[in-house]
Amino acid sequence: MATASTFYDMTEKLKEILLSDNNVSTVTYGDISSVATNKTTIYPLSHFIVNDVSIQDQVFTFDISLLCMDIIDYTNENTTDEFNGNDNLMDIFNTQMAVISRATMLLKRTNLRNEGYQLTGEPTLNQFKHRFEDDVAGWDVNFQIQVVQDMNVC
């Protein structure tokens, strides 16, 4: 099994996985309050935060929070469809759930495990809407990525 032991390696790999999805235009990292409020963000947006890292023998376990979102678009047309409403919320929830599903499935695949990355546990998604200054909706999820580290202690 290959090693991918640095913080840079893990964040770049997660960014690469997210950007490979057609339903992601921008990937950001860090404090979300400055990202979804600057009016220049290109949506759909995937944003992640490393909450903490635990160190075991030859493995780092990164606890990640991932938010996948898009801007809510309202139609001016009168609608009587109370199920779908006059916005694109259902589309956002569908596409952004697919982004998270694809990213987590890729982290379970053998080729990424061979590179030293592995998703642990089963992620649970939480839906949100109207959460930030930019009127966005989507999903947030926490999960852990184990990363093999190559530091030897002699």
Report residue 129 CA to chain centroid gap: 16
Supply the pLDDT for residue 1: 43
133 lies in some domain: yes
Supply the pLDDT for residue 127: 97
| Mean pLDDT, rounded, for 16-45 | 86
58 lies in some domain: yes
Query: CATH code at 22?
Result: 3.30.70
Please give the model's pTM, rounded to 2 decimal places. 0.85
Q: Are strands 136-148 and 117-129 parallel, antiparallel or unpaired?
A: antiparallel
pLDDT over threshold 80, residue 75: no
Q: How many angstroms separate the CA atoms of 47 and 34, rounded? A: 11
Supply the pLDDT for residue 39: 67
2 lies in some domain: no
Supply the pLDDT for residue 47: 96
Q: How many angstroms separate the CA atoms of 47 and 65, rounded? A: 8
pLDDT band at 13 (very low <50, low <70, confident <90, very high): very high
pLDDT over threshold 50, residue 16: yes
Instruction: Identify which of 66-70, 87-91, 144-148 has the greatest average pLDDT.
Output: 66-70
Give the pLDDT confidence of 87-134 residue by residue, as tens digits.
Answer: 899 999 999 999 999 999 998 887 788 888 899 989 999 999 988 888
Give me the number of domains the chain comprises: 1
Residue pair 91/98 in contact by the 8 Å Cβ criterion: no
153 lies in some domain: no
91 lies in some domain: yes
| DSSP secondary structure code for residue 35 in this structure | T
45 lies in some domain: yes
111 lies in some domain: yes
Q: How many angstroms separate the CA atoms of 58 and 70, rounded? A: 38
pLDDT over threshold 80, residue 5: no
Give the CB-side neighbour count of residue 138, counting CA atoms within 13 A: 27
Beta bridge partners of 74: 87
What is the domain extent for residue 116? 7-148
| Mean pLDDT, rounded, for 56-74 | 92
